[in-house]
Structure 1
Amino acid sequence: MKQKLLLFFCIYLLFFLLLHPAEALPAARDGLTLWLNVMIPALLPFLILTGILLKTGNIRKLLNPAAPLTKKLLGLSPAGTYVFLLGLLCGYPMGAKLAHDLYINQQISRREGEYLLSFSCNASPAFILSYLAGDCLKNRISGSRIMLLLLGADLICMLFFRFIVYHGHTVSSVKSTGEKKETSGQDSTGVILDVSIMNGFETITRLGGYILLFSLICACVSYYWPLSPLTGILFTVPVELTTGLHRIALSPLAWKKQYYLSMMLTAFGGLCIMAQTESVLENRLSLIPYVTSKCLNTAVILLLLVLSDII
């Protein structure tokens, strides 16, 4: 079924590129601009530096002093705490990438890795404050309030997965998977740097390809949409987060509806980020906790928005 869907979308996009280059070219340009101006400077340095920390095995040493506190409050090991902190600061899909890397490096268990997918994959504070609150919502709602609402929804998801799904048992002993690591503690500094840099560029290039394809899909669906333009906007905004927020801001919807939809889309993340997450997980960790948490997060943020308006 997946192969048939992939074949359908490939043929669909090829015809769109050949028949409507005037619409396809700006969409491809927008996707690549997003990748070049946002994702590369925001994510690539973190990918390289965290790769170095992974190869040298220093993550546990850095976070061991806080281990008792983080295990009690968050149900995380020191390495898992590192995933949570970097995922919170760097945004999509850094949390998923780190959970995958630490799992295959045998520093966290599969259960903890999938638990981390439920709450460590979110939009970064910089994206929320600058793009969502500033560019899209024109600072009509304070950035601190938006951050608190999104973090509150994420906290509720974390508690649900920790105590309902995993029954409080999120940290378990790490078993050897028999994976051969690319570097070891005896590797030279040059080898560690080379491997970390190449892995970082490989990951960021893959993510750029996903952004390009989903930008084309969004433009293609919008062009052929048979119903009213407004329903076309509502149908295509979940495809890609950044362009979806931009389309909501330019839509004729009332401002309050724009605010609600923008918050829900930010909590959901979009189908493009979902595909990026599946890509960085490389079938080592299940995508189900991530998808479930994003759907739950979207419902919770809607509930919090309604409650905040009532109060």
Structure 2
Amino acid sequence: MKENKFISFFTPGCIVLFIVLGVILFPNESILSAKEGLRIWTQILIPSLLPFIIGANLIVDLKIVDIIGLIINPITKLIFNVSGKSALVFVISTVSGYPVGAKLASELRATNQISNYEAQRLVSFCSTSGPLFIIGAVATGMFQNSNLGYLMLLCHYLGSISVGLLYRNYGKEILSNPNQNLKSNILNTIDSHLLSNKGFFVLFGNAVYSGVNTLLMVGGFVIIFSVVFKILSLFNIISLITTLIYIPLSFLGVSKDLCFAFISGLFEITIGCNKIASVTSAPEILKATLASFLIGFSGLSILAQCCNFIAKTDINTGLYIFSKFLHGMFAGLFTFLFYPLLKSTSLVSNFSNLYNVFYDNFLWNYYITHFKLILPIFIIIYIFTVLLVLERTSSNSKK
């Protein structure tokens, strides 16, 4: 017990000292990596996130979330076992991207609008990337293929929904129905907003202030993790991790460059996706699958941003991180399965004989040839499984 306390106390400090030492030893490289993080923040994150964060804050403060939540509450209870206002957080997150979903979910929990179990279920699937990043930055800007962006976006949201279905029974909590009818609840919500005596411009100013502060924090995380990744690279730690991963994956023909790009994405997804797209020796299906995993998992930089909000509540950050790992796995799997819809020709380049052993086999070729038959069967099985989970849950709640 004492050893665990000793380790938990000194480990963060040792890591920080190691990074500071790296900055002292490699000042020029640290400055360049910080500039790269600053560029990502100013050119990508601020234009894409700030309007959505301000709008999301206004939607919450104006009680629009509460009203729409009351309307869609029966549907969201059936599918995800969360209230309507919680499900609306998912909708806002799908439009705005990281870390808005986790921020709004944490605020709902911090103000006791939802229970701890519902908050845990909510953050498991409401923390998503946005279409501007997936279609615009990754697919069009990096992969030079906008059609791939729509496929990756669909798979990203399907992965999120799948995680939400897995977590729907967490806590074994059954949400109660509103005591009054819909009209009465909406009127009560309007009355409570009017009683707060806060005008639109006051709320708008608060939303802008909160949004700017949130983006300043996001920018700090991006810059810090850019420097951290550079320092770890200069100390050859990233190369060591890449070599360890490359050894088993080399039997599948995966190049070391692709492994290095994937590891970089585990730290910062924008940098990682860009490096993955630039690997010319790998087929697009493999690069798209790995990029989908990274976007779903979100990387340590975004995980740190989201956990900064979540850790202020009683939501379990460990379960949240595990749900993001599942999100990445589902998104990557769906991208791999649905990719034949994008390409009707051979999906794999002959960059390695060992890679061809893995892909140029009977099962893979059979799937490519008959994917129009196999893919609908997979979709039917997926829908049937979802309906079975919903049916069992509803029957258990009646007992």
Deviation at 1:121, TM superposition (A): 0.8
Aligned to 1:187: 198
**Unmatched tracts of structure 2, length 5 or more:** 1-6, 179-194, 244-255, 341-366, 372-399
Aligned to 1:218: 229
Looking at structure 1, the residues matched to 176 and 99 of structure 2 have their Cα atoms a distance apart, in angstroms, of 24
Looking at structure 2, the residues matched to 98 and 172 of structure 1 have their Cα atoms a distance apart, in angstroms, of 22
Contact 2:65 2:85 in 1 (8 A): yes
Runs of 4+ in 1 over 6 A off after TM superposition: none
Structure showing greater Rg: 2
Looking at structure 1, the residues matched to 9 and 220 of structure 2 have their Cα atoms a distance apart, in angstroms, of 18
Looking at structure 2, the residues matched to 219 and 252 of structure 1 have their Cα atoms a distance apart, in angstroms, of 23
| Alpha-carbon distance change, 190 to 287 in structure 1, aligned in 2, over 3 angstroms | same
Output aligned runs, 1:226-245, within 5 Å.
227=240, 230=257, 232-245=260-273
Amino acid at match of 1:292: F
Which of 272, 289, 309 pairs up with 2:319?
A: 289
Q: Does 1:197 align with 2:227?
A: no
Contact 2:56 2:92 in 1 (8 A): no
Q: Deviations over 1:69-94 (max 9, x none)?
A: 33333333221122111011111111
Range moving further from structure 2, 235-244 or 192-201: 192-201
| TM-score under structure 2 length normalisation | 0.68
Which of 76, 93, 99 pairs up with 1:70?
A: 76
Looking at structure 2, the residues matched to 3 and 211 of structure 1 have their Cα atoms a distance apart, in angstroms, of 25
Which structure shows the higher helix fraction?
Answer: 2
Deviation at 1:239, TM superposition (A): 0.5
Looking at structure 1, the residues matched to 91 and 277 of structure 2 have their Cα atoms a distance apart, in angstroms, of 30
Which of 238, 260, 279 pairs up with 2:308?
A: 279
- Whose RCO is larger (CA < 8 A, sep 6+)? 1
| TM-score under structure 1 length normalisation | 0.85
Deviation at 1:172, TM superposition (A): 5.5
Q: Deviations over 1:77-121 (max 9, x none)?
A: 221122111011111111100001122233222222211111111
Q: Deviations over 1:221-249 (max 9, x none)?
A: 12221556735444332011101111222
Aligned to 2:59: 53
Aligned to 2:28: 22
**Unmatched tracts of structure 1, length 5 or more:** 175-183
Deviation at 1:162, TM superposition (A): 0.9
**RMSD of equivalent CA atoms:** 2.7
Contact 2:151 2:335 in 1 (8 A): no
Amino acid at match of 1:289: L
Contact 2:55 2:207 in 1 (8 A): yes
Aligned partner of residue 118 in structure 1, secondary structure: helix
Amino acid at match of 2:116: R
Looking at structure 1, the residues matched to 19 and 312 of structure 2 have their Cα atoms a distance apart, in angstroms, of 26
Looking at structure 2, the residues matched to 8 and 137 of structure 1 have their Cα atoms a distance apart, in angstroms, of 39
Deviation at 1:123, TM superposition (A): 1.3
Output aligned runs, 1:259-274, within 5 Å.
259-274=288-303
Output aligned runs, 1:69-148, within 5 Å.
69-139=75-145, 142-148=148-154
| Alpha-carbon distance change, 46 to 150 in structure 1, aligned in 2, over 3 angstroms | closer
| Alpha-carbon distance change, 243 to 2 in structure 1, aligned in 2, over 3 angstroms | farther
| Alpha-carbon distance change, 124 to 135 in structure 1, aligned in 2, over 3 angstroms | same
| Alpha-carbon distance change, 196 to 223 in structure 1, aligned in 2, over 3 angstroms | same
Range moving further from structure 2, 111-120 or 186-195: 186-195
Q: Deviations over 1:160-211 (max 9, x none)?
A: 1114x345x464699xxxxxxxxx7123545434433322222221111111
Aligned to 2:328: 298
Contact 1:222 1:236 in 2 (8 A): no
Looking at structure 2, the residues matched to 2 and 47 of structure 1 have their Cα atoms a distance apart, in angstroms, of 35
Aligned partner of residue 119 in structure 1, secondary structure: helix
Looking at structure 1, the residues matched to 335 and 62 of structure 2 have their Cα atoms a distance apart, in angstroms, of 44
Aligned to 1:179: none
Q: Deviations over 1:135-154 (max 9, x none)?
A: 22221863322222222222
Deviation at 1:269, TM superposition (A): 0.8
